[in-house]
Amino acid sequence: MIISTNKRLSKFKLLPIALSILPFTATANSNVVHDAEYYILEAQNGKVWEVEDKDLDAKLAELAEEYGTPPNIVHFMWDDQPMGAIGVPAIQQSRGYDTPNLNQMADEGMLFSRMYTEPSCTPTRAAALTGQHPIRNGMYRVGFPVEYHGISEESVTTANILSDAGYATGFFGKAHLGDIEESYMHNQGFDVAFAAIYNQVASIWNEQGESANATIGFKDSVLAPDPYHLDDTYMSDDIVLFYEGHKGQQAKEWCGVSLDCYNQFDQEAERRALEFIETNAAAKQPFYVAWWPQWVSFIPEQQKSSRQRGIVGDAYQNNLDPSAGALMDTLKKAGIEENTLVIAMADNGPMTHNPPAGLGMGEGLFRGGKGDFTEGGVRVTAQAWWPGMIEPGQTVGDIIHVTDLYTTFARLGNATENIPDDRVIDGIDQTSLLINGDTHGRRDYVHIYSGDKLGATVKKHYKMHWINTDPTAASGIGSTYYDLLNDPREQSPLLVNMVMHGNSFARMRERHEMMMQKYPNKEAGQGPAYTGMELLNPDTKEISEPLIFIE
Amino acid sequence: MIISTNKRLSKFKLLPIALSILPFTATANSNVVHDAEYYILEAQNGKVWEVEDKDLDAKLAELAEEYGTPPNIVHFMWDDQPMGAIGVPAIQQSRGYDTPNLNQMADEGMLFSRMYTEPSCTPTRAAALTGQHPIRNGMYRVGFPVEYHGISEESVTTANILSDAGYATGFFGKAHLGDIEESYMHNQGFDVAFAAIYNQVASIWNEQGESANATIGFKDSVLAPDPYHLDDTYMSDDIVLFYEGHKGQQAKEWCGVSLDCYNQFDQEAERRALEFIETNAAAKQPFYVAWWPQWVSFIPEQQKSSRQRGIVGDAYQNNLDPSAGALMDTLKKAGIEENTLVIAMADNGPMTHNPPAGLGMGEGLFRGGKGDFTEGGVRVTAQAWWPGMIEPGQTVGDIIHVTDLYTTFARLGNATENIPDDRVIDGIDQTSLLINGDTHGRRDYVHIYSGDKLGATVKKHYKMHWINTDPTAASGIGSTYYDLLNDPREQSPLLVNMVMHGNSFARMRERHEMMMQKYPNKEAGQGPAYTGMELLNPDTKEISEPLIFIE
């Protein structure tokens, strides 16, 4: 890769050069194949980054010397909270809940004002573990039982690359990345896994839940007889919600399908996650933990714990926040808090499409929520905590994307060389942002996918909606353009301004798609569900097989 | 007033008792006639408040002994910013501006998450100075030149009651309370006044402004000839924008009508405000200052100072925030920062009805803005700073209303006895909230007027919209009901829940209206504009007179 330091270098000249050599050369520091936009930035900023990187390497080496290991990494991720939901008392007062532990973590660390995710659970989780927009590996659909689908064995996850670099790797919580054998977390690079296959819907997959949801109807068994009924397999009780497993071994179903099991799951995940941390800390073994609690039950508790008394406020105040406190306590007790990076964040924006609003779901500062490609869908609460390395009390304005965790964790774990070079990695190494602070991010853009369609692209604080079918939204030329600082709710498309910026956005998209042609998108894994697993319920076998495929 | 400590006291019994004796008796501590709802709260909490009040009196007496005067009071108020706009870095990063001085003030003091104002400039300013919802004194319309209308001579303002208690009183900035003689700030109790009669529209009342607004057309003089033109007085250049005055003396027009004058006005107001503070501090004279800068010019600067580069972000970052810094510096330099309460706040929600969004105007966390009775219109950024008396770092969830400043300032200045007892005062003494902190507020309700109509009523975190004409908003029974913690944007009216709370709200409204029958609303002042003033432009006289009245 030829790095030009000439900021005035014509982008029209740069583009063909970059595209022709990208697949065959590495950047200065790695073999990673980035998306096209990154090379535009690197060509302009690479020399500065190189200098920064040397300083960062020295800092990390110093820390490694002190602790005898590279830093531990904890990725603590939960569901559905917008930017500002954590660490901002004015917003929490307005929503009626309080998270003192997470707020303390934010105060002692770095609060991100522009952490972008994918628009929903499964895509974000896949993005975090693969460093790729899920369009590239087929993981852009939200999984529900039974799906015969999941993250493929060709995936090279954070757990894979950190394992190969000598890390102990543990997964605890909601995976939501498929129900086929290859998708189990211990088959995706984790040494140990204790995982929920699907999502919070599990909490209503039982008779108590059904009573509240019968008009939708999850379970035929408790519904009134339907004389038009032909298919018993459309909905089935004989599913698997939880499993445990070790790398190279068969999985075991855990507990079963009941509200009791659901309610015990997060506590058990917490117990195992903290034990995993303690054990590895004691052994001076560097570790990577993905602890992704689900906590929000769709069956409201009778006794409320938050002023909001919605299931969201209650669950986060009463359950999530103490978990975050226990995490910090455990790290401090083990004496490794200054050698451990904690990223705490939500996986997408708030649920806003499920009335009644009385569930604590609702928009934050931005328009839209989970599932949407407006900022409300993808701009989440997120923070980094690493005492001694991250300067406390920062609220940073840099753009960061959930895929950046992949490349950043790789950098911190000396595992960048383990990143595969046969695919585009959307993630960018953001170590400099973490350690050097505000304005040291290396990304000024984000592509936002809505399923398998490109929904929008952000550059700086401008945003192009590629999809807009509102006949009054000035989208006659195919897209609408917004200024996020002046119109954070994306309500007033700017037509005149688009005249100036439209082609810059069009070029970004062309480059992005040209890279996709060079590195074609892959499919997710497909097959029978629940193979490679010891099942508690013998009837599960029936639903697990997509009969069409059976000989 | 009989205070019952029986929390189970039937409200049905209390109501007739309260209504029959209210006008003729004082509460334990004052002669103030409150609105009905206050007495409901006092009957249940009065005994606790009495104990608190004794402690507060002791604390204030101790401070007075130390400084030799009761506390100074500075009410620093500007235009159009929603809750969270100040003191919340995550929101400022998302909007692209920064106010380090105001944020420091918030960090060192108390940030309000529920400061309610009236929905626009004139009503809020009238409410702050009279302690009344403007419906009670006719000040519910936003003034534009020329209005023949203003705050009446029967008003008893904060300046009146504090003057009578021995305070020096100064007004500096945007009054926006009328253009008739009785409405001038030095005729409303202030010892000195340096005031803008109208609002920021003054910034476009000149040729440069006109060039940007010609299609709307403020000034006939620069518009193309209109062959249908009949009336030269509909718009006139011969208006007055600024004046200065001393109590008991004639006003003098200041500077004139030009962009230069507009641009100098805020700087001159700042100079005079700070000088006023210094002079009185040196004389150990307690003072009350209403410093209400306008700052936002509608003619954008060519050179931008904020990342947002909207006129709002630019003006607040570049002009307002340094003023707040100068205020704190001046108080510290005079050694009186621990004997001075500063309330810093916006006067209503953000402008959201004026495209393009590129002006930095736009919704915050709540729906709607200036002019609306949704939370977005009336829930503003607000903070209190009083080192040594207010515990730093608080974000409080109590409801406070701009009228409460009237009664609270009166209490602090030993001027409660000066509050007139011939009218309802909507303001409530919130000294306990300031000094005792979160949860010590004395208000759990707010009535929100939209002009002269009751738009909505808030109780706790529930809100009833009395006006809703959306045929799909479940408003068939005349109103819609929202849960603000779970639905802060007031988008999902709750019909079933209203069944439980509807009548409680209906009773609140009935009580409120019954008090209004006992204490009927008054009209604002009316008359020729600009009398009692030395005019710079002899032609002003013509527009100043509503010819219909002239003999």
Instruction: Indicate if ipTM > 0.85.
Output: yes
* C-alpha distances in Å from residue B449, one per residue of A162, B123, B391: 61, 9, 33
Alpha-carbon Rg for chain A, nearest whole angstrom, is 23
Q: Which residue has the tokens 């913690």?
A: B485
Would you call A310 and B485 a contact, using CB atoms and an 8 Å cutoff?
Answer: yes
Closest chain B residue by Cα to residue A106: B90
Q: Is pLDDT at A269 greater than 70 in this prediction?
A: yes
Quick: pLDDT tens for A279-308: 999 999 999 999 999 988 888 778 889 999
Q: Which residues pair with residue A178 across a beta bridge?
A: A150
Q: What pLDDT score was predicted for residue A215?
A: 67
Nearest CA distance, A255 vs chain B (angstrom):
34
Would you call A95 and B485 a contact, using CB atoms and an 8 Å cutoff?
Answer: yes
What is the rounded CA–CA span in Å between residue B324 and residue B86? 12
| Domains located in chain A, CATH noted | 56-451 (3.40.720.10)
Looking at residue B320, what DSSP letter applies?
I
Q: Is pLDDT at B148 greater than 50 in this prediction?
A: yes
Q: Is pLDDT at B503 greater than 50 in this prediction?
A: yes
> Angle A160-A162-A165 (CA atoms, 0-180°, nearest 5)?
115
What pLDDT band is residue A4 in, cutting at 50, 70 and 90?
A: very low
Q: Is pLDDT at A376 greater than 60 in this prediction?
A: yes
Comparing CA positions, the residue from A278, A274, A284, A280 lying closest to residue A194 is A274
Q: Is pLDDT at B357 greater than 60 in this prediction?
A: no
- Judge contact between A96 and A103, C-beta under 8 A: no
Average pLDDT in the A456-478 region? Answer: 84
Q: Which residues of A touch B363 (CB under 8 A)?
A: 488-489
Q: Give the residue, A450 or A22, on which the prediction is more confident.
A: A450
Would you call B111 and A95 a contact, using CB atoms and an 8 Å cutoff?
Answer: no
Would you call A91 and B485 a contact, using CB atoms and an 8 Å cutoff?
Answer: no
Count CA within 13 A, CB hemisphere, residue A423: 20
Mutate to test the interface with A, among B485, B490, B496 (most CBs of A within 10 A): B485
Q: Is pLDDT at A6 greater than 70 in this prediction?
A: no
Q: Give the residue, A397 or B540, on which the prediction is more confident.
A: A397
Average pLDDT in the B459-472 region? Answer: 89
Q: Which residues of A touch B487 (CB under 8 A)?
A: 357-358, 362
Quick: pLDDT tens for B466-477: 998 777 776 656
Mean pLDDT of chain B: 90
Q: Give the residue, B355 or A532, on which the prediction is more confident.
A: A532
Q: What pLDDT score was predicted for residue B11?
A: 39
What is the rounded CA–CA span in Å between residue B397 and residue B110? 11
Q: Which residues of B touch A488 (CB under 8 A)?
A: 94-95, 362-363
Q: Does A233 touch chain B (CB under 8 A)?
A: no
* Residues of chain B numbered 377-396 and touching chain A (CB < 8 Å): 395-396
Q: What pLDDT score was predicted for residue A217?
A: 67
Q: Does A224 touch chain B (CB under 8 A)?
A: no
Q: What pLDDT score was predicted for residue A545?
A: 80
Q: Is pLDDT at B340 greater than 60 in this prediction?
A: yes
**A8-22, A237-251, A478-492, B484-498 — most confident range:** A237-251
Q: Which residues of A touch B89 (CB under 8 A)?
A: 111, 113, 395
- Judge contact between B111 and B89, C-beta under 8 A: no
Q: Which residues of B touch A113 (CB under 8 A)?
A: 89-90, 93-94
Least confident of A164-173, A408-417, B212-221: B212-221
Share of chain B above pLDDT 70, in %: 91
Residue A52 neighbours by CB under 8 Å, 6+ apart? A432, A436, A440
* Residues of chain A numbered 53-72 and touching chain B (CB < 8 Å): none
Structure tokens at B229: 């033109």
Mean pLDDT of chain A: 90
- Judge contact between B145 and B312, C-beta under 8 A: no
Average pLDDT in the B220-242 region? Answer: 83
Average pLDDT in the A90-114 region? Answer: 97
How is A291-349 classified by DSSP, letter by letter? Answer: EE-----SS--SS--SSS-SHHHHHIIIIIHHHHHHHHHHHHHTT-GGGEEEEEEESS-
Quick: pLDDT tens for A305-364: 999 988 889 999 999 999 999 999 999 999 999 999 999 999 999 988 876 555 778 889
Q: Does A362 touch chain B (CB under 8 A)?
A: yes
Express the helix, strand and coil content of chain B in percent, nearest 5 each.
Answer: 40, 15, 45
Average pLDDT in the A422-450 region? Answer: 98
Average pLDDT in the B135-155 region? Answer: 95
Q: Does B308 touch chain A (CB under 8 A)?
A: yes
Q: Which residues of A touch B300 (CB under 8 A)?
A: none
* Mode of pairing for the β-strands spanning A72-78 and A340-346: parallel
Q: Is pLDDT at A481 greater than 80 in this prediction?
A: yes
How is B350-407 classified by DSSP, letter by letter? Answer: ---SSS-GGGS----SSS--TT-SSHHHHEE-EEEE-TTTSPTTEEE---EETTHHHH
* C-alpha distances in Å from residue A356, one per residue of A297, A317, A360, B482: 16, 20, 9, 11
What pLDDT band is residue A153 in, cutting at 50, 70 and 90?
A: very high
* C-alpha distances in Å from residue A368, one per residue of A78, A80, B193: 19, 12, 47
Q: Does B225 touch chain A (CB under 8 A)?
A: no
Q: Is A57 helix (H, G, I), strand (E, B) or coil?
A: helix
For chains A and B, CB pairs below 8 A equal: 139
Would you call A485 and B91 a contact, using CB atoms and an 8 Å cutoff?
Answer: no
Nearest beta carbon to residue A91 from set B84, B95, B356: B84
Q: What pLDDT score was predicted for residue A508?
A: 95
Would you call B362 and A489 a contact, using CB atoms and an 8 Å cutoff?
Answer: yes
Q: Is A544 helix (H, G, I), strand (E, B) or coil?
A: helix
Nearest beta carbon to residue B486 from set A113, A310, A491: A310
Length of chain A: 551
Q: Give the residue, A430 or B231, on which the prediction is more confident.
A: A430
Would you call A395 and B494 a contact, using CB atoms and an 8 Å cutoff?
Answer: no
Structure tokens at B36: 């009905």
Average pLDDT in the B418-426 region? Answer: 97
Nearest CA distance, B115 vs chain A (angstrom):
11
Quick: pLDDT tens for A400-429: 999 999 999 999 999 999 999 999 999 999
Quick: pLDDT tens for A213-248: 666 666 777 778 889 888 877 777 789 999 999 999
Q: Does A90 touch chain B (CB under 8 A)?
A: yes
